[in-house]
Amino acid sequence: MELNVNTDMPHALTREFSDQVEKLHLLRLSDPHFAEITDDYTTLNAEIVDLEERGSPASDVCLEDMKKKRLKLLDEIAGYLS
C-alpha cells in the first residue's frame, strides 16, 4: 500500500517526515489504523490546500477547525514514527 501523496503539496507527509518515508510506508503496510489516519490526513490536507489556493469559500472558523484536525492527525502520526 503506497502512500499516495503529491510531494509538491504543502504539508504532504513525505515532506513533513522526509527522513522517514520508508518507515511511513512500512507502517502503512503493517498497521491498518496507521494507514487509516495517514489517509485521513492526506485527504484533509488536500482539502485545506485546495480551499486556500482557491480563496476559500469556507469560513475562517471552519478552515481553522480543519487545520486543528490536520495537526492532531499529524501529532498522532509523529507518535507512531518516534
Q: What are the pLDDT digits (tens) for 5-22?
A: 556 788 999 999 999 999
pLDDT at 77 > cutoff 90: yes
pLDDT at 3: 56
pLDDT at 4: 54
User: What does the alpha-carbon distance between residue 32 and residue 36 come to, in Å, rounded to a whole number?
Assistant: 6
pLDDT at 8: 75
User: What does the alpha-carbon distance between residue 56 and residue 47 come to, in Å, rounded to a whole number?
Assistant: 10
Chain-centroid distance, C-alpha 65: 15
Residue pair 57/51 in contact by the 8 Å Cβ criterion:
yes
* pLDDT confidence band for 59 (50 / 70 / 90): confident
Taking Cα atoms as reference points, which of 32, 29, 30, 50 lies closest to residue 40? 32
Grid cell in block for residue 61: 472558523
What is this structure's pTM? 0.87
